[in-house]
């Protein structure tokens, strides 16, 4: 390996963090059922412990995303506990996720519901989340809306746009100067006819309307088959509107599969757009990277370690693209050479340089092996199995 590539890889890894989702450690499944894992996190403390363990092994995950209803069910009253757990397990709270999709009241929508009382309830919850984020000194508040309808003609799409605009503007007004509002989109599920925030264009317009601290959040699982996600990323970068990512992979719908398990080249191409933007403009794209996966079959800890290592590899590969050469080949429309320049970086084996980076940071060279050798899984299985066994009967 040339020294220059190693320097580029190490520099990239020094600047790459990826947030872990608290819910990725708990027992979750599909709407057809859950396969309970005895080692899964049951309490918020378990989630912080697991996230802390992944961070200790990879050095790349200093923050954990929290879903307020699941992790801080008592709202602001739970802030002190989260602070204590962050201190104890060495991972800080990251993005704060409101939940306006689960309660019975939201059957016909949250901030897009025709009933003003339900719109207010949803808005109040998101404002509470902003206050929680402020108390925890978390920058990003990331609402995702399941709002939509299942049958043509059953809802006024335009009325609902207005209600969304109004609500998100109010949320924005509640942000402190350093906070950001990240608006996530999703084309379908649970709504199957129309979803109120269905794509990046709708999220973009809602963010623009809300105010200057609102950005778009791209969840890689929230696109139609064959959609060119890196092109969306390029547009958002161009307009300074990309706020963050929820990473996962998909084959059919929002499958929540392990990052890069189906199409690693796509994640590489997304990272390439971000590196290329930084190279071309000299500007740092302030993007929050987060995992959004919950595994039904794979062991949750191992899946998370595998995900983080894959993210580091793909990010490192994208960092070694020869941008100057690529720009000149693009200019002369040297198609094969340009494509090969990109592919060359993708196929480059960055793993030895990553191992070296880990060594130099006092991290285990092989985080998965280190995890397997650590005894952590056996310990949490023993500690949690009875509590999870209760879940087996609950969810059976
Ligand atoms: C919805 O599919 C989503 O991607 C949102 O980000 C939620 O917050 C998350 O999954 C967990 O349900
Ligand atoms: Mn998501």
The CATH number that applies at residue 233 is: 3.20.20.150
Q: Whose CA is nearest to atom 6 of ligand 1?
A: 144
Looking at every residue in the chain, the average pLDDT score rounds to 96
Q: How far apart are CA 214 and CA 171, in angstroms?
A: 10
Least distant ligand from the CA of 294: 1
**What pairs with residue 97 in β-bridges?**
67
Per the structure, the complete domain to which residue 309 belongs is given by: 3-395
Q: 270-295 pLDDT, tens per residue?
A: 999 999 999 999 998 899 999 999 89
Q: Whose CA is nearest to atom 8 of ligand 1?
A: 144
**What pairs with residue 26 in β-bridges?**
41
Cβ–Cβ under 8 Å, residues 266 and 226: no
Residues in the chain: 396
CA of 146 to the centre of ligand 1 (A): 9
Q: 192-231 pLDDT, tens per residue?
A: 999 999 999 999 999 999 999 999 999 999 999 999 999 9
pLDDT of residue 391: 61
Range of weakest confidence among 32-46, 158-172, 381-395: 381-395
Q: How far apart are CA 35 and CA 54, in angstroms?
A: 22
CA of 93 to the centre of ligand 1 (A): 17
Mutate to test the pocket of ligand 1, among 183, 186, 246, 250 (most ligand atoms within 8 A of CB): 246
Q: Is the link from the previous residue into 190 a cis peptide, with omega within 30 of 0? A: yes
CA of 126 to the centre of ligand 1 (A): 15
CA of 92 to the centre of ligand 2 (A): 20
Question: Atom of ligand 1 at shortest distance to CA of 97?
Answer: 8
CA of 382 to the centre of ligand 1 (A): 30
**Could you count the other beta carbons within 10 Å of the beta carbon of residue 389?**
12
What average pLDDT score do residues 345-366 get? 98
**What interhelical angle do 376-395 and 367-374 show, nearest 10?**
80
Least distant ligand from the CA of 101: 1
Strands 148-149 and 194-195: antiparallel
Measured at the alpha carbon of residue 101, what is the angle toward residues 95 and 105, in degrees to the nearest 5?
135
Of 19, 259, 43, residue with least CA distance to 139: 19
CA of 343 to the centre of ligand 1 (A): 32
Residue 145 has pLDDT above 50, yes or no: yes
pLDDT band at 28 (very low <50, low <70, confident <90, very high): confident
Q: Whose CA is nearest to atom 7 of ligand 1?
A: 144
CA of 239 to the centre of ligand 2 (A): 22
| DSSP code string of 178-233 | T-EEEEE--SSSS-SSEETT-SHHHHHHHHHHH-TTEEEEEETTSS-TT--HHHHH
For the chain, how many structural domains are there in total?
Answer: 1
Residues having CB within 6 Å of any atom of ligand 1:
23, 97, 144, 184, 186, 219, 246, 254, 292
Question: Atom of ligand 1 at shortest distance to CA of 221?
Answer: 4
Q: How far apart are CA 325 and CA 329, in angstroms?
A: 6
Least distant ligand from the CA of 67: 1
Q: Whose CA is nearest to atom 10 of ligand 1?
A: 292
């Amino acid at each position: 390996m040339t020294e220059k590539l190693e320097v580029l890889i190490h520099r990239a890894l020094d600047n790459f963090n990826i947030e872990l989702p608290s819910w990725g450690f708990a027992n979750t499944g599909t709407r057809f059922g859950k396969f309970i894992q005895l080692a899964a996190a049951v309490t918020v403390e378990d989630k912080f412990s697991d996230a802390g363990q992944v961070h200790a092994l990879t050095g790349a995950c200093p923050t954990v995303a929290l879903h307020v209803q699941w992790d801080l069910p008592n709202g602001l009253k739970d802030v002190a506990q989260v602070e204590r757990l962050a201190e104890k397990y060495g991972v800080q709270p990251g993005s704060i996720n409101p939940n306006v999709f689960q309660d019975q009241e939201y059957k016909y929508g949250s901030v897009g519901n025709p009933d003003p009382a339900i719109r207010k309830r949803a808005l109040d919850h998101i404002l509470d989340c902003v206050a929680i984020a402020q108390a925890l000194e978390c920058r990003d508040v990331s609402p995702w809306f399941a709002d939509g309808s299942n049958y043509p003609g059953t809802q006024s799409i335009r009325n609902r746009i207005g209600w969304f605009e109004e609500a998100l503007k109010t949320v924005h007004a509640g942000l402190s100067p350093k906070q950001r509002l990240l608006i996530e989109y999703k084309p379908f599920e649970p709504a199957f006819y129309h979803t109120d925030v269905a794509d990046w264009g709708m999220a973009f317009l809602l963010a623009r309307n809300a105010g200057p601290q609102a950005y778009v959040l791209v969840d890689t699982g929230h696109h139609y088959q064959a959609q060119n996600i890196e092109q969306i990323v390029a547009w958002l970068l161009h307009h300074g509107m990309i706020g963050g990512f929820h990473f996962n992979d998909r084959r059919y719908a929002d499958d929540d599969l392990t990052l890069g398990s189906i199409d690693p080249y796509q994640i590489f191409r997304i990272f390439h757009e971000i590196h290329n933007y930084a190279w071309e403009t000299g500007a740092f794209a302030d993007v929050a990277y987060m995992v959004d996966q919950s595994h039904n079959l794979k062991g949750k800890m191992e899946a998370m370690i595998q995900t983080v290592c894959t993210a580091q590899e793909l990010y490192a590969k994208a960092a070694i693209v020869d941008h100057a050469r690529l720009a000149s080949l693009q200019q002369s429309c040297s198609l094969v050479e340009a494509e090969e320049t990109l592919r060359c970086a993708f196929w480059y084996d960055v793993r030895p340089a990553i191992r070296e980076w880990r060594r130099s940071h006092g991290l285990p060279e092989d985080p998965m092996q280190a995890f397997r050798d650590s005894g952590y899984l056996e310990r949490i299985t023993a500690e949690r199995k009875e509590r999870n066994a209760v879940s087996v009967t609950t969810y059976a």
